[in-house]
């Protein structure tokens, strides 16, 4: 083909014009009738609440599904009496706390015309969670679920649970799904086309893009104010930040690293930040099987050497202080002043050095430890490293890939293992996962999250934990948990470093309709309003 | 052609084997990556069994090779979707981006290169040299972020992320990421064009064309450029392969779906099936591009066909 200069120029001009089609019109920001959130992940894995393994998928499930009971929007129910009626209107527990009976709300409609929710759906949802759920632990105590007529359900437990509403009742896995829909479309399709009763119903599931929902017009409560919700997955931090600043999305999941909030405010001072307190519990396991960490004086030295308030302050405004393993407003949580003086562990590097000298290490010692490269882990552990160095504890920190880090921890390859996990106000969950001898880490990778070997390397809290779990009244439960807190502070197999809020940066034009105070890393948009 | 295809089989097998071994050597547990670090030992064991991760390595390798031969890479550990479906959904976006970047890179690079050669030692030549240096030096993810801030965030001419739907919307979404890759390509192609054209400008047939009174543009574009195309084609083939790998970072920065983004995500999550499937696709694309380049040589230079 012969191309002369004129033809070449014409072709080039046409190609350029074609490429910039539409650039004259400013790109549309998200519509006033849609809440669009930028999620910090690559793509949704499932919309089935019983199968979620990626926390950020719960932004969608939170809009689509409901449980028998829920806490107030934007909060945790810190005691059982703070749960509010949702798909159940009233409930009661037997005196032995082993049978929980729920009266169901009548007239609740499932999405997509799947009819009214009845006890059959509740029984089905609970039983599915027991057999197929991703969190069988929370269902392990459920012996049976029985329908007592169309609008009443009894849950029978194997052992007492005074916290049943928190441990099991309000969970993704016990979201109520439509049995009729499940039977009709099958388990596989349900993964991406689930049917619930929540204020929004799923309209699109795209593994590359995200999920879209529209208002559930047959919702039993006050209908959502904004017609649609879109969860757009943007894993790259820069792309997600730019999407918020450009108005393409209304809110984004934050980067939980020091200085991030300030840097965002520099770019746009009108941005709002919603934070849950406590968010994640950042704990530090001390491996009791490694010398000299089996020596209590060394562990006490570590505790005095770490300025936990400074760690929390460095993560401001997301960081929070824990005197023990629970924030002070959680059940079993302590304020520093309420602890015995010897368990307050106020930052005291001189005392730390003295304790090390008493333990036979007047010049300190060197040791290796692993850390994840994820911002919240690495930033915290670098601060800890510096504070330990100041008293002579020279931690050679090896920072590596996050997935590999957890695999190494699970194979007992760490000395001081930081762990970040979120917990509801059910203290026994943390104790079981991180301190129980049943959860002891194993070198073959088949153990649990007790990386310190507490309960086997030295006597632990197993008996107290059993007592708390068998309690038939809430006061006994909380009192026993407080005893556990005190014992852990005495033995120091695990240190509460800080809490770290789940944070969302929000464009000021979007009003959530309530204040986000606490709760899991997801919240509902049904009360939100948005200016054009 | 068939011979060349058969020739590629050992290469692909070697790539597959290396990827299989690399993934198993890499620390990290797919079960923990999928279920989270809070998962209980029983849950992890159940997951490993379900995904075939509890069988011996040699058996996993055998299953993988059989799967590859039947184009069955299994299911993603993360969302249970068949790997082939994931690849089929993402591949068109990577092809779109690569092709658009190559077209833009060529459209920008070749005229620049020709101009630099013709105006050797003058301002356009110096400009080309600076452009090449910058093009080589600036990483594509950084350039992409600059474009996003400039053209999408501040000027609001382009969408900030995604791939769009509908012909014009897709083009609108494609332009900035394609331009990001294209400028790097243009620097390379421009430099290569300059060298090739300079080389042929001193040849006898160019002098003859000029002596016959041909217009300068005809001499350059008809006689010089045509003969400079062969080394250029080789370079562009390599450049196309580099564009494929460059698409990984650009897909992430622009939050575009594509094989590159899928691969990065899968490596982070230790989603072996998706990684292996993605690498097979990349390897096949490399083989395909090489084959196409061989065919292109024949079109460009008939002497090769005669040989």
Site from A16, A43, A443, A521 to mutate, B interface, most B CB atoms within 10 angstroms: A43
Q: Are A22 and B172 in contact (CB under 8 A)?
A: yes
* pLDDT tops 80 at residue A355: yes
Site from B149, B156, B222, B266 to mutate, A interface, most A CB atoms within 10 angstroms: B156
Residue B123, number of CB atoms within 10 A of its CB: 9
Contact B156 A22 (CB under 8 A): no
pLDDT in tens, A174-211: 999 999 999 999 988 999 998 999 999 999 999 889 99
pLDDT classification of B165: cutoffs 50, 70, 90: confident
Question: Beta strands of A40-139 (E only): which ranges?
Answer: 69-70, 84-85, 88-93, 99-104
Return the C-alpha torsion angle A215, A217, A219, A220, nearest 10. 150
Contact A446 B41 (CB under 8 A): yes
Contact B37 A406 (CB under 8 A): yes
Contact A242 B159 (CB under 8 A): no
* pLDDT tops 60 at residue A251: yes
Average pLDDT estimate for A71-78? 96
Residue A171, pLDDT score: 92
pLDDT classification of A2: cutoffs 50, 70, 90: very low
What distances in angstroms separate CA A276 from CA A317, A501, A523, one per listed residue? Answer: 11, 5, 10
Q: Which CATH number fits domain B90-300: 1.10.1040.10, 3.40.190.10, 3.30.365.10, 1.10.3720.10?
A: 1.10.3720.10
Candidate from B38, B103, B161 with C-beta closest to A248 = B161
- Check if B58 contacts A (Cβ < 8 Å): no
Contact A23 B157 (CB under 8 A): yes
Q: Are A97 and A162 in contact (CB under 8 A)?
A: yes
pLDDT classification of B307: cutoffs 50, 70, 90: low
Candidate from A2, A245, A407 with C-beta closest to B28 = A407
Cβ burial A293-324 (10 Å sphere, 16+ → b, else e): bebebbbbbbbbbbbbebbbbbbeebbbbbbb
Share of chain B above pLDDT 70, in %: 97
> DSSP letters along A349-381, please?
HHHHHHHHHHTT-TT-EEEEEEEE-SHHHHHHH
Average pLDDT estimate for A80-89? 97
Contact B159 A248 (CB under 8 A): yes
Average pLDDT estimate for A252-256? 92
* pLDDT tops 70 at residue A517: yes
Q: Which two tokens stand for residue A531?
A: 């200016």
> Cβ contacts of residue B226 below 8 Å, gap of 6+?
none
Contact B35 A208 (CB under 8 A): no
pLDDT classification of A5: cutoffs 50, 70, 90: very low
Q: Are A98 and A156 in contact (CB under 8 A)?
A: yes
Q: Are A425 and A166 in contact (CB under 8 A)?
A: yes
- Check if B267 contacts A (Cβ < 8 Å): no
Candidate from A232, A242, A449 with C-beta closest to B153 = A242
Chain A closest-CA separation from residue B231 CA (Å): 20
**Closest chain A residue to the Cα of B87, Cα to Cα:** A208
Residue B306, pLDDT score: 56
HSE-CB at A47 with a 13 A cutoff on CA atoms is: 27
Chain B contact set for A234 (CB, 8 A): 161, 255
pLDDT classification of A16: cutoffs 50, 70, 90: very low
pLDDT classification of A17: cutoffs 50, 70, 90: very low
Cβ burial A274-290 (10 Å sphere, 16+ → b, else e): bbbbbbbbbbbbbbbeb
Average pLDDT estimate for B103-109? 92
Residue A82, pLDDT score: 96
Chain B contact set for A400 (CB, 8 A): 27
Average pLDDT estimate for A266-276? 94
- Give B66-134 as a 3 state SS string: HHHHCCCCCECCCCCCEHHHHHHHHHHHHHHHHHHHHHHHHHHHHHHHHHHHHCCCCHHHHHHHHHHHH
* pLDDT tops 60 at residue A363: yes
pLDDT classification of A24: cutoffs 50, 70, 90: very low
pLDDT classification of A29: cutoffs 50, 70, 90: low
Residue A133, pLDDT score: 83
Candidate from A45, A136, A400 with C-beta closest to B79 = A45
* pLDDT tops 90 at residue A509: yes
Chain A contact set for B162 (CB, 8 A): 209, 232
How far is residue B300 CA from its own chain's centroid? 23
> Cβ contacts of residue A463 below 8 Å, gap of 6+?
none
Chain A contact set for B265 (CB, 8 A): 42-43, 235
Higher pLDDT: A436 or B266? It is: A436
Share of chain A above pLDDT 90, in %: 83
Three-class SS state of B159: coil
pLDDT in tens, B18-37: 988 988 888 888 888 888 77
Chain A closest-CA separation from residue B298 CA (Å): 16
* pLDDT tops 70 at residue A154: yes
Share of chain A above pLDDT 70, in %: 94
* pLDDT tops 90 at residue A122: yes
- Check if B20 contacts A (Cβ < 8 Å): no
* pLDDT tops 90 at residue A311: yes
Higher pLDDT: A282 or B72? It is: A282
pLDDT classification of A508: cutoffs 50, 70, 90: very high
* pLDDT tops 80 at residue B240: yes
pLDDT classification of B282: cutoffs 50, 70, 90: confident
Q: Which two tokens stand for residue A532?
A: 């054009």
Contact A22 B80 (CB under 8 A): no
Chain A closest-CA separation from residue B122 CA (Å): 22
How far is residue A412 CA from its own chain's centroid? 24
Angle at B110 between CA B106 and CA B114, to 5 degrees: 180
- Check if B80 contacts A (Cβ < 8 Å): yes
Q: Return the bridge partners of A506, or none.
A: A251, A272
* A296 φ/ψ angles, rounded to the nearest 5 degrees: -60, -35
pLDDT classification of A7: cutoffs 50, 70, 90: very low
Q: Where are the domains of chain B?
A: 2-69, 90-300
Chain A contact set for B89 (CB, 8 A): 207-208
Cα distance between residue A391 and residue A386, in whole Å? 9
Altogether, the residues listed in chain B come to a count of: 307
* pLDDT tops 90 at residue A423: yes
Mean pLDDT of chain A: 92
pLDDT classification of A14: cutoffs 50, 70, 90: very low
Range ranked top by mean pLDDT from A32-46, A473-487, B119-133: A473-487
* pLDDT tops 90 at residue B228: no
Chain B contact set for A46 (CB, 8 A): 79-80
Q: What is the pTM of this model?
A: 0.85
**Closest chain A residue to the Cα of B153, Cα to Cα:** A246
User: Hey, which residues 284-303 in chain B have their CB within 8 Å of chain A?
Assistant: none
* pLDDT tops 70 at residue B277: yes
Average pLDDT estimate for B260-276? 88
Contact A449 B38 (CB under 8 A): yes
* pLDDT tops 90 at residue A369: yes
* pLDDT tops 80 at residue B264: yes
Residue A63, pLDDT score: 97
Cα distance between residue B148 and residue A349, in whole Å? 48
**Closest chain A residue to the Cα of B108, Cα to Cα:** A12
> Cβ contacts of residue A521 below 8 Å, gap of 6+?
A55, A56, A58, A253, A276, A279, A422, A502
Contact B37 A27 (CB under 8 A): no
pLDDT in tens, B173-226: 999 999 999 998 899 899 999 998 888 888 888 888 888 888 888 888 878 888
Higher pLDDT: A262 or B246? It is: A262
Contact A53 B40 (CB under 8 A): no
Average pLDDT estimate for A389-396? 97
pLDDT classification of A15: cutoffs 50, 70, 90: very low
Cα distance between residue B122 and residue B100, in whole Å? 31
Residue B140, pLDDT score: 87
């Amino acid at each position: 083909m012969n191309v002369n200069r004129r033809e070449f120029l014409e072709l080039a001009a046409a190609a350029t014009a074609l490429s910039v089609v539409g650039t004259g019109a400013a790109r549309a920001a998200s519509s006033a009738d849609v809440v669009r959130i930028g999620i910090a992940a690559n793509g949704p894995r499932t919309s089935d609440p019983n199968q979620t393994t990626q926390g950020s998928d719960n932004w969608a499930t939170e809009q689509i599904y409901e449980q028998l009971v829920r806490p107030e929007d934007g909060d945790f129910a810190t005691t059982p009496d703070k749960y509010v009626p949702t798909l159940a209107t009233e409930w009661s527990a037997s005196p032995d706390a082993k049978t929980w009976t729920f009266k169901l709300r009548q007239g609740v409609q499932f999405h997509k015309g799947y009819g009214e929710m009845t006890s059959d759906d509740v029984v089905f949802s609970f039983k599915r969670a027991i057999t197929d759920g991703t969190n069988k632990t929370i269902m392990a105590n459920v012996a049976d679920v029985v329908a007592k007529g169309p609008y009443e359900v009894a849950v029978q437990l194997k052992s007492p649970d005074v916290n049943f509403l928190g441990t099991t009742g309000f969970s993704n896995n016990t979201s109520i799904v439509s049995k009729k829909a499940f039977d009709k479309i099958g388990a596989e399709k349900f993964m991406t086309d689930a049917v619930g009763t929540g204020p929004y119903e799923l309209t699109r599931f795209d593994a590359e893009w995200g999920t879209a929902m529209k208002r559930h017009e047959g919702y039993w409560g006050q209908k959502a104010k904004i017609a649609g919700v879109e969860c757009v997955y943007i894993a790259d931090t820069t792309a997600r930040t730019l999407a918020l600043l450009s108005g393409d999305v209304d809110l984004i999941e934050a980067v939980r690293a020091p200085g991030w909030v300030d840097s965002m405010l520099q770019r746009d001072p009108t941005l709002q930040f919603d934070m849950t307190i406590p968010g994640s519990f950042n704990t530090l396991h001390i491996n009791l099987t490694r010398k000299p960490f089996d020596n209590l004086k060394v562990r006490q030295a570590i505790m005095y050497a770490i300025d936990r308030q400074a760690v929390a302050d460095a993560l401001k405004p997301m960081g929070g202080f824990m005197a023990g393993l629970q924030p002070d407003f959680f059940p079993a949580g302590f304020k520093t002043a309420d602890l015995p003086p010897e368990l307050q562990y106020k930052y005291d590097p001189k005392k730390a050095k003295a304790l090390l000298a008493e333990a036979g290490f007047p010049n300190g010692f060197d040791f290796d430890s692993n850390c994840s490269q994820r911002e919240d882990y690495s930033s915290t552990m670098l601060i800890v490293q510096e504070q330990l160095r100041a008293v002579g504890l020279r931690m050679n920190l090896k920072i590596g890939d996050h997935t590999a880090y957890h695999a190494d921890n699970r194979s007992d390859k760490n000395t001081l293992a930081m762990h970040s996990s979120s917990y509801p106000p059910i203290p026994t969950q943390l104790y079981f996962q991180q301190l129980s001898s049943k959860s002891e880490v194993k070198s073959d990778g088949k153990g649990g999250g007790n990386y310190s070997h507490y309960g086997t390397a030295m006597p632990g809290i197993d008996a107290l934990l059993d007592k708390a779990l068998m309690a038939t009244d809430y006061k006994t439960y909380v009192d026993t948990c407080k005893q556990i807190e005190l014992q852990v502070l005495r033995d120091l197999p695990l240190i509460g470093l800080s809490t770290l809020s789940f944070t969302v940066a929000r464009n000021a034009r979007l009003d959530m309709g309530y204040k986000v105070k606490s709760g899991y890393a997801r919240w509902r948009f049904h009360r939100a309003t948005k200016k054009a | 052609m068939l011979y060349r295809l058969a020739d590629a089989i050992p290469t692909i097998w070697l790539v597959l084997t290396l990827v299989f071994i690399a993934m198993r050597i890499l620390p990290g547990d797919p079960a923990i990556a999928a279920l989270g670090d809070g998962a209980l030992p029983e849950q992890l064991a159940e997951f490993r069994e379900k995904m075939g991760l509890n069988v011996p390595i040699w058996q996993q390798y055998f299953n993988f090779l059989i799967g590859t031969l039947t184009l069955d890479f299994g299911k993603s550990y993360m969302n249970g979707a068949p790997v082939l479906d994931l690849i089929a959904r993402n591949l068109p976006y990577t092809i779109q981006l690569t092709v658009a970047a190559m077209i833009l890179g060529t459209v920008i690079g070749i005229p620049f290169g020709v101009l630099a050669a013709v105006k050797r030692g003058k301002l356009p030549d110096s400009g080309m040299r600076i452009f090449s240096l910058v093009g080589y030096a600036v990483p594509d993810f950084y350039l992409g972020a600059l474009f996003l801030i400039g053209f999408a965030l501040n000027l609001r001419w382009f969408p900030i992320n995604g791939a769009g739907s509908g012909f014009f919307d897709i083009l609108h979404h494609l332009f900035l990421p394609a331009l990001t890759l294209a400028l790097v390509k243009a620097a390379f192609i421009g430099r290569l064009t300059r060298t090739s054209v300079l080389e042929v400008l001193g040849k006898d047939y160019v002098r003859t064309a000029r002596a016959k009174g041909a217009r300068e543009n005809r001499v350059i574009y008809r006689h010089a450029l045509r003969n400079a195309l062969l080394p250029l084609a080789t370079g562009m083939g390599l450049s196309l392969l580099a564009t494929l790998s460059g698409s990984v970072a650009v897909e992430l920065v622009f939050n575009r779906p594509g094989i590159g983004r899928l691969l990065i995500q899968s490596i982070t999550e230790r989603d072996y099936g998706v990684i292996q499937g993605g690498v097979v696709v990349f390897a096949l694309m490399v083989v395909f591009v090489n084959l196409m380049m061989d065919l292109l040589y024949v079109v460009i230079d008939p002497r090769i066909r005669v040989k």
